[in-house]
Structure 1
Amino acid sequence: MRRFLTLVFLLLFTIPFGVSISGCSKKSATVFCNGGDTGPAVGQVSNITLQPKIFGVSLNFAQIGQVSAPSAVDCKGTTVTVSSFTYATFLPNGQPDMTIADVQPTTGRLCAGTWNRNTGGGIADFTTCNPTNKTGTVYVVANGGGVSSNPLPVFIHPVVTNVTLGALSTDCVNDPATNCSPAAFDTQASTCAQTTNGNGCCAVPVPTTATAAAETGCVSQSITSQLAARVVAGNGTNISCQVGHLSYAPQTATVVTIDENGVATAQQPGSTVITANISNAGSSAGFFSTCPPTSIALTAPVGTTPSTSVTVNPNNVQPINVVAIDKNNTILTGLTLNFESTTPTTIPAASAASVTPIFPGAAAITAVCQPPTCNPSPFNQIGLFGNGKAITSNPVLVTAPGTNSTNLYIASTSSFYLVPVDFTQPQLGSPVRLPYYPNSMVISNDGSTVYMGSSFELMTFSAATNSLGAQDTTVPGSVLAISPDGTTLVITDPVRQFVYLYNASGGIQTQYGGVGTHAVFSPDSTTVYITLGDVTTQATPTTPAVVTPNNQLLVHSTFTGWYQTQTTLPNTTTPLNTTDVAIGVPSVGAFFGGSNTTARSYCPVTTTVGVPPTTSSTTTNLFYPDAGVQSPQTDRIATTNDGIHVLGATINPTPTLVDLALSHPATKYVLAGPGLPPGECPEADSSGNTIPQLFPASTVFSGPIPGITATAITGVFPTSDSKIAFVTYLGSGAVVPTYTPQPTGPGTLGSIPLSTALGTPIAPVIGVVSADNQTFFAGTSGDNAVHLITKQTDGTYKDTTTPIAPKLPDVNGNIVTPNLLVQKPRKATS
């Protein structure tokens, strides 16, 4: 019985315990790399890599460096952890050598010389790199987990003081460059035969069919070229073959891409500084230029035929075809172009090379390759090889047929009131009381906001609510212009004698000394041209007041900032007063009224001294230079949307209208606008100087304006379809002068009698053209009304509609002349 009980005890306790022990075992079976029972196991170190494998590390004498952290993987390529690595150096023949380069065995810190060891005196080992001034190449190996890494080359050389991009070397003995270096053969099929002259170069350069990028000027898009550099030590010795691989990086990555072998591929137009990375430090080695467009041709598909003139119904999308070529006739792709419209309120241009009219009207659409988003350049290289300059296309003329209604806003410089008029309603809007007399008035392109200057503050009027909005007392003065994108106002304060660029949302962006008289923005809102008036300094008890004539031009560009220059007669230093400004179409510059009508180009005059792109060459620019136009006097001017005419009027010696016609090269383009083939800035000639840019222009008409006696011309207003222009003035005559320009040859002067329905008009003092070109609104003295000069079925304009009587009172209750007008289009029904 005792034996039986003992057996039961063993069965109940001993067996389960044994079973539980075996059941808890978690030991994994070893998986071998070959799938068998022996050999290297998965999870064990199989390979250790030190980077960069080919390029290695380049160090100046006595320079301290660091081996990059090794990466270890097993036979399956999975990253594994190694508890520690040890490092050692050896020569190409496999022999150890710590006199050229030394490595700290446990950390991988490199010394271009020999580390201190067992120095004593409390100096820790491996803290001082003692130079041996030995040039050569050694290799570093990292060991860990029983595996050795790839050998990492370490190039030791004298201290580098200069790296310069240049021509590929063809003589590795007397003029070595990096294409002579043994390192350049590491990725080549051929091998390097060492020379015996001690410069470490190969006997012949690395075989290549590429040309050196920097010596050929600009490189066309997608073309590859080999970068070659000459590396010089402090004593002037060329050490290009001793420094190993150079790593190149462009400052502007959109211009060029550079691979690990220094092969550069041109991308988008522009130029950029190239940095060569060597000895753990970057050096500005040179620059690279991708050729800019020499032409940008726009056409609109009309059926199967491309055209530069197209009719598009409102709300319909019209695609625009773009073909841009460079000096080598390479068709450029992927350009970041700004598409611009001369009348964005009715026919805005889209960034996707299309146009969708919102309202009836007409516009010229152009495309601009505008730095810095297109064809950028370092500031000191602007103009070299054509980079850093804007290039403008020919215009495409878009007409949107139909009619629309108008919201008109009427004010006077002698009244506290503004009267809104909505022509879809049967009665005038309620007058809005203003805090101060307005002295100027502009409206944003989207029609949402009217800005009015005054002697005390900037006043804002909401066109959506017909109510006064924000007021800013920090910017008293006159509002001269608003940017097409509606973000920036030009305000001038004649008391403080400042010109402000003011954020439409509030606050001064920047300011410049002077008193502005007129201003105009380029369609892309990046540049504004401002004419300056006479500046009077305050008299003192000992000195009289000094009046400085208005022969100064002020320009602000987002690319170059403020720029002020004296306006002179073309090709002279004779001062010339300016009275008005109008932007060119395309916007390759601006025209200025004055005792002579002149123009300024957006192409800087580039002067290069020395042979680019060597470091000894310098490039300077004269911005917004004289464009070579000298035509009759104009007091007020305007340009037509078709880019063919600059129209001006003057009272000296008698009221006269001037038509300055712009001719265009017969090749490449039609209606290209002022300038060289459309907007193309000239390149430097063989002497490094820019060929002067001209706006080919001639006076095709200059004649007396009949039927008026004028003391001042207040405006010239072409319709957006370029078919007729209206002139306003101070004086008498009771007519609205008109001019009908022609594509070629002189146009025709005419006049439209003003209606006497509300009294006796004396003169149209201000005007604005409706967006659909159906009506010219003219504010008139005498009857103090706004006349509607409307287009008839035969195409002529007449004053047959009953004028508007805004009845603007002054402080004494007298009705005054409406001499401030702005308008915005709206649908014909409310």
Structure 2
Amino acid sequence: MRRFVLLAFLVMFFIPVSVSITGCSRNKSSAVYCNGGDSGMLTGQITTINLEPRLTGVSLSSGQMGSVGTASATDCKGNSVSVSNFTYASSDTTHTLVDVNPATGRLCAGSWNRNSAGGIADYTYCNSTSLTGTATVTASAGGATSNSVTVYVHPIIGSVALTGASQTDCVSQGKAITLAADAFDTSGNAISSNIVGKFTFAAQTSGIVTIDENGVATAAQPGSTLITASISNATSTAGYFSTCPPTSIALNIPGSSSKSVNVNPNTTQPITATVLDKNNTTLTNLTLTYVSTTPRTIPAATGSVTPTFPGAAAITAFCLPPTCNPSPTDRVGLFGNGKPVASNNISVTTTGLSSNYLYLASTQSQYVTQIDMTTGNLGATLRLPYVPNSMQLSTDGAALYLGTSNEIITLNATSNAITKEDTSISGRVISVSPDSGTVVITDPSRKLIYLYTSAGVVASTYGGVATRAAWSTDSTTVYITTADNQLITYSTPAGWHVIDNSGLTAVNDVAVTVPSVGAYFAGSTATVGHTYCHKTTYSGTSVSSIEYFPIAGGTASTVAAPLDRIAATNDGAHILGARMLAGVPQITDIGVSMPIGGSTQGGACPTASGAVPNFTQNSLNTYATTASGTAVTSIVPASNSTVAFLTYSAGATASPVVPAYFPSTGTVSNIALATTSGKSAPTAPVSGVFSADDATFFVSTAGDNQVHLLTKGTTAYSDTRQLDPKLPAFSGSGYSVPDLIAAKPRTFQ
């Protein structure tokens, strides 16, 4: 009885409480409704499906298989919802134009196989129906359907070609155009654009243009690049894009209108560059190459110059392909791309005096010696393994290269010790690049020209025997003359080229212009100027020919001035030459104007088909000297362009004078060489080199086998001192002529 009463009590009191508790639990459910209420669609349920590529669609050739992109689902709050399987459908219910595998989204531009014999699974291969057109594909799941993706079906695309303004002109930096293209079938017939779909464009060369997914191309850095167009899972060359090149580069000294500046040693002088294109758009962030005519004493840096020693230099900025304004090789010159652009010169002078180290060797001795000009004392004399035939000092003053008929010898220019004997090559050392990275060596026995690196490696070779060589100030191009009267160039972007030698019956020498927009070749009948602007011939936008380093145009392209030796002054105003005529050295001054920034022509290469820039002749004068000899060996201008000295080999009679030419006045002074007490009289100045500060010309002389110091006084140069290196002769007794000479500022050590 007690148990029954207890059970009745529980039924009456606890069950309602339990029901009440359960009811409260339902009111506190964890479900979240999209509308924030207590009914409707819940979060976590699919509301939206995104199917890619929604913007571009899918392009397929008839019979081609493909696929739509990724499908993704989200709920009403934008949260991702996991879906195990989507179901895909095509608007083409006939399954003859665009057929889709409902489980995977794989597409067929035609009809998928179904119920095939032999147990082949459905949706394995695509049957072409040769139909073309468009259809849409969607993906669905959880009661939601995606956006439509258009599928374009067309004939097989054989080629693609860009159309519109991008193919007829360049685009200024920062400006944008929309790329458009036409597609053609394998027979060359145009395919209607409404069944092709959207192209995806890409530039082969980075940095010239940026292209977004809608084909909007924004010009970036100067240059031209190949554009590819991708569609139907294939990529095709479509055309080119050109960002307008510079037409002018103006260098300026901040706060000054002058193009000349005096800078103290170890003081940084800023230099600004303003770069414009043909539409007068200011170009920014260009990779300009700043160069100095005397990098040993006044090196140039990007946007500044910091002299290390007294001296003078011309500073120029170049836009040089391929680092600036590049172009595919078959498009060089079109719209001006692929061609260099030069600025005006900034003349930098650093006053003061500097001491020097002098290096002396002889083609008749096995010895080389170093002289510290601070004390005038001879350093240790080094015996070489072989008699040298040539000697060149690297621009940085670190190494001496000596050529012999057995090997190439490299000396440490500080310790005067041999660092390398390279028996794999031999011959004459012709020239060292301004950056000290490359040496031109020629081997007459093997008839080879070597480009030899400072690391002691042959970088490149060319058949022939080089006689003279001259480098552009940026070290990217070297101009070479050969024993068989060929003109050869090697440049970083273009490699080796034999260039036109018209107008030159015998080639004697070469000098690079200042700034280095070309070179002059001295011949036995004329002097001919070549430009670094490639000569491009084209029709419309089709390039038919490109000639590298052609003969320049203008009045100074070919000058009726036969010369044996040639040099350019750093002010860019004079091409100086010398010739031995009937035993008498003569000096010729060709006054020139180069096509650089600030000139009438400007610093850009011409863009017209077949056009070349003009070298302008301002004057032509020849001056006799009182010297006599057999051959001119050099004409050496000072870095400040105020004077040039002429050297020559001895003739039948003694000629103890050194002709000095002063370009500003057009006068020649024949400086007498002194006879040292107890020594033979000098008979000829055979070679020479300037001190870094231009205050002294060191000249090696035959007859007394000494070095004479021609020092600038208040009004003139005079022979103020003589040095006796005493290089033992290889044959016989006595000493040899120190005809191999080099100098560097002393504090390089």
TM above 0.5, yes or no, is yes
Q: Is the 8 A contact 2:400 2:410 kept in 1?
A: yes
Residue 659 of structure 1, aligned match among 574, 586, 589: 589
- Do the aligned partners of residues 42 and 339 (structure 1) sit closer, same or farther apart at CA in structure 2, a change above 3 Å counting? farther
Deviation at 1:581, TM superposition (A): 0.8
Deviation at 1:799, TM superposition (A): 1.1
Q: Is the 8 A contact 1:233 1:239 kept in 2?
A: no
Amino acid in structure 1 at the alignment position of 2:698: F
> Counterpart of 2:287?
336
Deviation at 1:84, TM superposition (A): 3.1
Query: After superposition, where does 1:697-712 map in structure 2 within 5 Å?
Result: 697-706=617-626, 708-712=627-631
> Counterpart of 1:599?
529
Deviation at 1:52, TM superposition (A): 2.3
Residue 226 of structure 1, aligned match among 171, 175, 178: 178
> Counterpart of 2:395?
445
> Counterpart of 1:635?
564
Structure 1 position 69 matched with structure 2 position 70: yes
Aligned-partner SS, 2:368: strand
**CA–CA separation in structure 1 for the residues paired with 2:259 and 2:372:** 35
**CA–CA separation in structure 2 for the residues paired with 1:399 and 1:804:** 32
Deviation at 1:72, TM superposition (A): 4.1
Residue 656 of structure 2, aligned match among 731, 734, 747: 734
Query: After superposition, where does 1:563-574 map in structure 2 within 5 Å?
Result: 563-569=497-503
> Counterpart of 2:488?
554
Amino acid in structure 1 at the alignment position of 2:170: C
- Do the aligned partners of residues 626 and 668 (structure 1) sit closer, same or farther apart at CA in structure 2, a change above 3 Å counting? closer
Task: Summarize deviations over 1:226-275 as a string: whole Å, max 9, x none.
Answer: 32222222351442222121221122232222223322222221111111
Residue 117 of structure 2, aligned match among 120, 140, 143: 120
Deviation at 1:31, TM superposition (A): 5.7
**CA–CA separation in structure 2 for the residues paired with 1:118 and 1:625:** 71
Q: Is the 8 A contact 1:295 1:677 kept in 2?
A: no
> Counterpart of 1:823?
743
Q: Gaps (5+ residues) in structure 1?
A: 1-27, 168-211, 534-549, 570-574
Deviation at 1:34, TM superposition (A): 5.6
Task: Summarize deviations over 1:351-371 as a string: whole Å, max 9, x none.
Answer: 2x1111111111111111111
Q: Is the 8 A contact 2:536 2:543 kept in 1?
A: no
- Do the aligned partners of residues 822 and 338 (structure 1) sit closer, same or farther apart at CA in structure 2, a change above 3 Å counting? same
Aligned-partner SS, 1:232: strand
Residue 544 of structure 2, aligned match among 598, 619, 635: 619
> Counterpart of 1:650?
579
> Counterpart of 2:127?
130
Structure 1 position 715 matched with structure 2 position 634: yes
Deviation at 1:377, TM superposition (A): 0.8
Aligned-partner SS, 1:418: strand
Q: CA RMSD of the aligned region, Å?
A: 2.3
Aligned-partner SS, 2:578: strand
Identity of aligned residues (%): 49
Aligned-partner SS, 2:335: helix
Deviation at 1:401, TM superposition (A): 1.0
- Do the aligned partners of residues 144 and 420 (structure 1) sit closer, same or farther apart at CA in structure 2, a change above 3 Å counting? farther
**CA–CA separation in structure 2 for the residues paired with 1:414 and 1:782:** 14
Residue 423 of structure 1, aligned match among 368, 373, 377: 373
Aligned pair count reads 711
- Do the aligned partners of residues 48 and 455 (structure 1) sit closer, same or farther apart at CA in structure 2, a change above 3 Å counting? farther
- Do the aligned partners of residues 808 and 238 (structure 1) sit closer, same or farther apart at CA in structure 2, a change above 3 Å counting? same
Task: Summarize deviations over 1:434-455 as a string: whole Å, max 9, x none.
Answer: 1111111111111111111111
Deviation at 1:71, TM superposition (A): 3.7
Aligned-partner SS, 1:332: coil
> Counterpart of 1:4?
none
Aligned-partner SS, 1:506: coil
- Do the aligned partners of residues 40 and 466 (structure 1) sit closer, same or farther apart at CA in structure 2, a change above 3 Å counting? farther
> Counterpart of 1:364?
314
- Do the aligned partners of residues 80 and 554 (structure 1) sit closer, same or farther apart at CA in structure 2, a change above 3 Å counting? farther
Structure 1 position 325 matched with structure 2 position 276: yes
**CA–CA separation in structure 2 for the residues paired with 1:771 and 1:45:** 81
> Counterpart of 2:517?
588
Amino acid in structure 2 at the alignment position of 1:519: A
Aligned-partner SS, 1:773: coil
Query: After superposition, where does 1:151-166 map in structure 2 within 5 Å?
Result: 151-166=148-163
- Greater alpha carbon shift after TM alignment, 279-288 vs 75-84: 75-84
> Counterpart of 1:175?
none
Deviation at 1:699, TM superposition (A): 4.1
Q: Is the 8 A contact 2:343 2:597 kept in 1?
A: no
Deviation at 1:331, TM superposition (A): 2.0
Residue 215 of structure 2, aligned match among 237, 262, 266: 262
**CA–CA separation in structure 2 for the residues paired with 1:135 and 1:508:** 60
**CA–CA separation in structure 1 for the residues paired with 2:528 and 2:728:** 38
Aligned-partner SS, 1:397: strand
Q: Is the 8 A contact 1:631 1:699 kept in 2?
A: no
Aligned-partner SS, 2:119: coil
- Do the aligned partners of residues 32 and 527 (structure 1) sit closer, same or farther apart at CA in structure 2, a change above 3 Å counting? farther
**CA–CA separation in structure 2 for the residues paired with 1:34 and 1:431:** 98
Deviation at 1:47, TM superposition (A): 3.8
Aligned-partner SS, 2:249: strand
Task: Summarize deviations over 1:726-752 as a string: whole Å, max 9, x none.
Answer: 11100241111100002xxx6111121
Q: Is the 8 A contact 1:629 1:695 kept in 2?
A: no
**CA–CA separation in structure 1 for the residues paired with 2:41 and 2:400:** 81
Residue 756 of structure 1, aligned match among 675, 678, 698: 675
Residue 299 of structure 2, aligned match among 320, 324, 348: 348
Deviation at 1:473, TM superposition (A): 0.9
Task: Summarize deviations over 1:192-214 as a string: whole Å, max 9, x none.
Answer: xxxxxxxxxxxxxxxxxxxx322
**CA–CA separation in structure 1 for the residues paired with 2:734 and 2:104:** 92
- Greater alpha carbon shift after TM alignment, 507-516 vs 277-286: 277-286
Deviation at 1:811, TM superposition (A): 4.6
Q: Is the 8 A contact 1:808 1:817 kept in 2?
A: no
- Do the aligned partners of residues 143 and 579 (structure 1) sit closer, same or farther apart at CA in structure 2, a change above 3 Å counting? same
Aligned-partner SS, 1:68: coil
TM-score (norm 2): 0.91
**CA–CA separation in structure 2 for the residues paired with 1:79 and 1:473:** 72
Q: Is the 8 A contact 1:767 1:779 kept in 2?
A: yes
Q: Is the 8 A contact 1:551 1:566 kept in 2?
A: no
Q: Is the 8 A contact 2:154 2:191 kept in 1?
A: no
**CA–CA separation in structure 2 for the residues paired with 1:821 and 1:39:** 98
**CA–CA separation in structure 1 for the residues paired with 2:406 and 2:82:** 74
- Do the aligned partners of residues 781 and 144 (structure 1) sit closer, same or farther apart at CA in structure 2, a change above 3 Å counting? farther
> Counterpart of 1:498?
448
Aligned-partner SS, 2:613: coil
Task: Summarize deviations over 1:753-777 as a string: whole Å, max 9, x none.
Answer: 1121252111111111111111111
**CA–CA separation in structure 2 for the residues paired with 1:458 and 1:668:** 41
Deviation at 1:138, TM superposition (A): 1.5
Query: After superposition, where does 1:680-695 map in structure 2 within 5 Å?
Result: 680-684=604-608, 689-695=609-615
TM-score (norm 1): 0.82
**CA–CA separation in structure 1 for the residues paired with 2:730 and 2:257:** 56
Q: Is the 8 A contact 2:431 2:441 kept in 1?
A: yes
- Do the aligned partners of residues 312 and 126 (structure 1) sit closer, same or farther apart at CA in structure 2, a change above 3 Å counting? same
| Higher fraction of strand | 2
- Greater alpha carbon shift after TM alignment, 433-442 vs 64-73: 64-73
> Counterpart of 1:106?
103
Q: Is the 8 A contact 2:688 2:699 kept in 1?
A: yes
Task: Summarize deviations over 1:141-169 as a string: whole Å, max 9, x none.
Answer: 233455433222111111222222223xx
Task: Summarize deviations over 1:158-183 as a string: whole Å, max 9, x none.
Answer: 1222222223xxxxxxxxxxxxxxxx
- Greater alpha carbon shift after TM alignment, 463-472 vs 696-705: 696-705
- Do the aligned partners of residues 587 and 679 (structure 1) sit closer, same or farther apart at CA in structure 2, a change above 3 Å counting? farther
Residue 249 of structure 1, aligned match among 175, 190, 202: 202
Task: Summarize deviations over 1:110-142 as a string: whole Å, max 9, x none.
Answer: 211111111122333222111112222222223
Structure 1 position 484 matched with structure 2 position 413: no
Q: Is the 8 A contact 1:382 1:619 kept in 2?
A: no
- Greater alpha carbon shift after TM alignment, 73-82 vs 726-735: 73-82
> Counterpart of 1:677?
601
**CA–CA separation in structure 1 for the residues paired with 2:167 and 2:46:** 46
Deviation at 1:661, TM superposition (A): 0.5
**CA–CA separation in structure 2 for the residues paired with 1:43 and 1:415:** 95
